């Protein structure tokens, strides 16, 4: 018996998610030490001290189920962003939320719109529920929102937008997003995935929670995996109108967020100094990456995230492999239809130096 034959039609077309290579795996394979991983857009400063302390305090009490309503974390989010706790849905990472939203609003034959080169989880959840993918060709590697509008039809249920986008780093301004939302029919749900918003400059960052007041069909999704450094714990949140939040919370598994993730998120959302340090390092080091690429005539996509995607104009997999031997893990993105590019997460200065040196050696 081939069990794939009895899987739902969408699942039959799924391929396994290709995660960044773990440091331990490369250590085992090549027996090298001091490996630098710049492959999964993780926080180069490591786990925040504020969250560590919260976890220490909680370690004596892991016997009981977590608070299914995440009361305390919702209070902190509500206060920080001037929204109501009733607008919030907590997720086991924002990936969980992206999937939850699809389950809540779309089913077989419904259409879901997202961009070519957008976050790979959008096609993944679309296929998993056997909905219809409407992948819109990218414009300059980014979202072509006019083409999105033209693709909307009576079967359209959901639109995913990543801003900044992963893996390209493209960014849409508030004006562009606002202009777009004003033309989307209110029965179509728009998910604005802002996993990297903390890395954008304050003056250009979208005031997305304000957009919620104008657009009842909008859901903002945020992550604590990137700027906040909690990727290993899995926690994210969505903010929407209360009616949508209520629906998402009905579909959500009651204990999707674990106790340690909840207390860590409470701590780190109040730890502005940590996030500022992370964003500042990213700004400085991103400028170094851009200068490095310009100096060495490497094409790259302008990025507002904590990563940069470089175009080698030839299949990049051998460069990726050669970098592994130098102890540097970056991310091949052939799975996104970008076989000539590698995505590099912005690290600490010394990690980036190691990448620059390794890349020059590999290319020479």
- Give contact residues for ligand PLP (rule: CB under 6 A): 41, 93-95, 119, 162, 166, 193, 195, 223, 225-226, 231, 236
CB of 265 to ligand PLP, least distance (A): 11
Select the residue whose beta carbon is closest to ligand PLP and give its number.
93
d(CA 87, CA 241): 5
CB of 187 to ligand PLP, least distance (A): 24
Q: Which is nearer to ligand PLP, 121 or 358 (CB)?
A: 121
d(CA 305, CA 283): 10
Q: Which is nearer to ligand PLP, 102 or 358 (CB)?
A: 102
- Which residues neighbour 254 within 8 Å (Cβ) at sequence distance 6 or greater? 68
Our CA dihedral for 40, 43, 49, 55, rounded to 10 degrees, sits at: -30
CB of 363 to ligand PLP, least distance (A): 27
Taking CA atoms, 27 is separated from 22, 214, 347, in Å, by 9, 51, 19
CB-CB neighbours of 23 under 10 Å: 16
The H-assigned helical ranges of 59-159 are 71-81, 94-105, 121-128, 145-151
188: DSSP letter = S
Beta bridge partners of 338: 333
- Which of 231, 248, 270, 241 is closest to 73 using CA atoms? 270
CB of 68 to ligand PLP, least distance (A): 20
Q: Which is nearer to ligand PLP, 14 or 322 (CB)?
A: 14
Q: Which is nearer to ligand PLP, 118 or 358 (CB)?
A: 118
CB of 9 to ligand PLP, least distance (A): 26
d(CA 321, CA 283): 28
CB of 221 to ligand PLP, least distance (A): 7
CB of 196 to ligand PLP, least distance (A): 7
Q: Which is nearer to ligand PLP, 120 or 322 (CB)?
A: 120
27: enclosing H helix or E strand: helix 23-30
Beta bridge partners of 154: none
Q: Which is nearer to ligand PLP, 35 or 121 (CB)?
A: 121
Q: Which is nearer to ligand PLP, 94 or 303 (CB)?
A: 94
């Amino acid at each position: 018996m081939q069990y794939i034959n009895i899987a739902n039609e969408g699942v039959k077309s799924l391929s396994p998610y290709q995660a960044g290579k773990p440091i331990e795996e490369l250590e085992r394979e090549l027996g090298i030490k001091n490996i630098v991983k710049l492959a999964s857009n993780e926080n180069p400063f490591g786990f925040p001290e504020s969250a560590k302390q919260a976890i220490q305090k909680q370690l004596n009490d892991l016997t009981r189920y977590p608070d299914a309503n995440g009361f305390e974390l919702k209070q902190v989010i509500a206060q920080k962003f001037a929204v109501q706790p009733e607008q919030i849905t907590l997720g086991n990472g924002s990936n969980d939320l992206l999937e939850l939203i699809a389950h809540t609003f779309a089913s077989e034959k419904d259409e879901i719109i997202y961009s070519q080169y957008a976050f790979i989880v959008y096609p993944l959840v679309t296929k998993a529920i056997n909905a219809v993918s409407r992948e819109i060709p990218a414009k300059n590697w980014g979202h072509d929102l006019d083409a999105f509008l033209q693709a909307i039809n009576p079967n359209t249920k959901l639109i995913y937008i990543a801003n900044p986008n992963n893996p390209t780093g493209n960014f849409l301004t508030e004006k562009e997003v606002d202009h777009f939302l004003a033309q989307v029919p209110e029965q179509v749900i728009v998910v604005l995935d802002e996993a990297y918003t903390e890395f954008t400059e304050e003056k250009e960052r979208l005031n997305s929670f304000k957009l919620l007041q104008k657009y009842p069909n909008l859901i903002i999704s945020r992550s604590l995996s990137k700027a906040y450094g909690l990727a290993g714990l899995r926690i994210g949140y969505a903010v929407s109108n209360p009616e949508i939040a209520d629906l998402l919370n009905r579909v959500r598994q009651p204990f999707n967020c674990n106790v340690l993730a909840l207390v860590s998120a409470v701590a780190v959302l109040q730890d502005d100094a940590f996030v500022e340090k992370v964003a500042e390092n990213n700004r400085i080091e991103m400028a170094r990456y851009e200068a490095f690429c310009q100096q060495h005539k490497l094409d790259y996509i302008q990025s507002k995230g904590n990563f940069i995607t470089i175009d080698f104009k030839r299949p990049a997999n051998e460069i990726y492999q050669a970098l592994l031997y130098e102890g540097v893990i970056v991310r091949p993105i052939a799975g996104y239809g970008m076989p000539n590019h590698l995505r590099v997460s912005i690290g600490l200065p010394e990690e980036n130096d190691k990448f620059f040196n390794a890349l020059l050696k590999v290319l020479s």
